[in-house]
Amino acid sequence: MRRLRFLVLAMIAAVSSVALVVTSGVVADPVARAQAPSPGDSCTVLHSTTQDANGRTMWCNPTMTGNHSLVWQYGGPG
């Protein structure tokens, strides 16, 4: 009976540690990830800046043709 109790406790400890390792990977990464914009993606604030996936600066400028909507572009404020 004593051996059975020991085995049950050892099994519970093993399962608990595995569950902790599995769930800690999910819980330990609470940072939201967003994709960087690409040239031509829409934006909302004129002359605002951001960086693309390669770290280059992009500006929110109106398009030169069409309805002059705001899009992310390289080259600074227009």
How confident is the model at residue 10, as a pLDDT? 79
Do residues 61 and 33 lie in contact, with contact meaning Cβ atoms separated by under 8 Å?
Answer: no
Q: How far apart are CA 36 and CA 43, in angstroms?
A: 12
pTM given for the model: 0.55
The predicted pLDDT at position 13 comes to: 80
Q: Please tell me the predicted confidence (pLDDT) of residue 20.
A: 44
In the chain, which stretches have pLDDT less than 50? 19-22
State the pLDDT at residue 12. 84
Plot region of 66 (φ>0 → left; ψ -120 to 50 → alpha; else → beta)? left
